[in-house]
A and B are shown apart, each in its own frame.
Chain A
């Protein structure tokens, strides 16, 4: 065997050599990445891919997509958040079985993963530099992931422009919101086969808090508050839910089905808490906002804007 040939071929096989600057990712690793990555692969499309797409980054691959371009869940979040017509990322192998050859064929110059992907880093790094981003509750809030990723991929201006448009929209909606000078609370509940308090990281939470609402404290109800690194949901007991009285109750049904409108959400909650509309104070007093989880649960500015649209419609109802 001629070792120089072998060594050269193996070294050439790593595209990580094309790095331009060194950054420290959220797990404390130093990673050499391109100044403005041109081809990015994400390890979680809704939480990492969508914020990057909104910044104009070309997300060429995503863990959870199939070869035919379809997504693992019935809902394609690229369509629900940004509208139809966008080019979809390609798959990198079925869930649980990342295909490194398929990943390499996409020729990425950066792979963005979550902090939970730390054990995959060694293998993924054979294809391209890997940046790990915190996405867990307590570590990320609202669309902070998008802001942090904008710094990583050199798209600060794109983020600033989007944020500015969002701020204008927010000001308009806030103006329309009745203000009695009191601090108002909200509780966002995501319905699966149980009740879940929506975690900190989503466009919906960002918009509601930017509108002046503060999260209803669940400590008095002994409900868990996101321990263990949950990204999206915190289980909430039906009994505890019945006692809660936020100024604004935000309900959204799971994105695993089509019944995400107000009627579908009401029916889903009826199955878990029968008769809730008759005894729950926010329901009796018309303080319930219904949101489409497939549009608002992602950490993107677009998701926050979808929430503002829904709030505006609720004010005008």
Chain B
């Protein structure tokens, strides 16, 4: 490994295997990881039971803790932190991948209809089989998301179809599916529609070690996918023709990226409900923190997504205890001001450059 400068003058670390990492990206990743750990510590101390990181460490060291403290730490708070991070990671990663293949910073699983596909099939399942097992819900989410992805691929045609075509077709499919969702909410019995509305608001209530064990393989697969498919996204950032010119097998890798994004998005929807706007928010904030491409961009975006969901859950559990604050609303309250701030600073920077 040696330190060098890239063509644009920025410092990079070059490894003997050919891997090159920008020092700025590395610093941003370190800052985000530190932020994630600090946030997890704050989240561990949030709740009505008097316990937190100190008791957690004592507990790990074998010192006895009260049953209430053990319950709060191991059954409630830690699973929420882990599950929230993994779900946020998955949605943000899916968003970042979709933005590359559509070449549009607004693309996310929600905008392309992938989340709506999952949600619609879950809603249909819950309407007809209210007591459907969780496995059936997960399969329904995956089937819905995949159906939308395949429909999009079929509608936009072959490898030469532009990213804009996918985006526009995705918006059309999303609009149709949203209407179906609204119809279901309006015309199902009040109790069913309330349950559906509850679920659509998003929640980490279901976070437990069983759910984490189910989600963990996907999280590991996402790391592998990030490593294997990350490079392709930097080629797609330049456009389809450029990607093909650079030797990217577009016919194979684009559907693969799309299906991988569906898998991530559907799993997150099943676990915590729809995390609206996170797929756009996290990559934008990560890009503001440290501009990056390829694997580094995906990694930073996913990390930001995980942090945002943990932050939203911590806010819901600590600051506003008696008011309902669904995870989607918490994400908006935290993420949107940051989004405005980042966009405004970027605009000011551009003004200074000109």
Contact = CB atoms under 8 A, between A and B. Distances in A.
Interface of A: 1-2, 5-6, 9-10, 12-13, 27, 66-68, 91, 93-102, 104-105, 114-116, 118-120, 122-123, 126, 136, 227-233
Contact of B198 (A5, A96, A102, A105): A96
Interface of B: 47-49, 59-65, 67-68, 70-72, 74-76, 127, 130-131, 134, 188-192, 195, 198, 201, 203, 205-206, 208, 210, 316-317, 321-326
Given A12-B67, A101-B76, A123 B206 contact: yes
A1 B62 contact: yes
Nearest to B207: A123
Contact of B316 (A10, A97, A105, A233): A97
B326 A97 contact: yes
Contact of B190 (A93, A96, A123, A230): A230
A229 B76 contact: no
Nearest to B126: A119
Contact of A116 (B72, B195, B317): B195
Contact of A67 (B62, B67, B321): B321
Most chain A beta carbons < 10 A, residue from B61, B64, B191, B210: B191
A118 B208 contact: no
Most chain B beta carbons < 10 A, residue from A10, A13, A95, A99: A13
A307 to B, nearest CB: 23
- Which 8 A-B pairs rank lowest in CB-CB distance, beginning with the nearest? A2-B62, A230-B189, A13-B71, A9-B70, A94-B324, A12-B67, A228-B189, A118-B131
B324 to A, nearest CB: 4
Contacts of A105: 48-49, 68
A59 B94 CA distance: 45
Contacts of A12: 67, 70
A101 B321 CA distance: 12
B60 A1 contact: yes
A97 B68 contact: no
Nearest to B74: A10
Contact of B130 (A2, A9, A96, A229): A229
B191 A231 contact: yes
Contact of A27 (B48, B65, B131, B321): B131
Contacts of B203: 96-97
Contacts of A94: 322-325
A229 B201 contact: no
B322 A10 contact: no
Nearest to B65: A9
17 contacts: A1-B62, A9-B64, A10-B70, A13-B67, A13-B68, A91-B322, A93-B321, A94-B322, A95-B198, A97-B203, A97-B325, A99-B48, A101-B48, A115-B130, A122-B206, A123-B205, A136-B191
A13 B48 contact: no
Contacts of A119: 134, 206
Contact of A229 (B65, B191, B317, B323): B191
A126 B75 contact: yes
Nearest to B128: A228
A111 B155 CA distance: 50
Given A67-B322, A96-B326, A126-B75, A102 B48 contact: yes
A114 B195 CA distance: 12
Contacts of A66: 322
Contacts of A101: 47-49, 68, 71-72, 76
B127 A5 contact: no
Contacts of A123: 205-206, 208
Contact of B127 (A1, A27, A228): A228
A6 B63 CA distance: 9
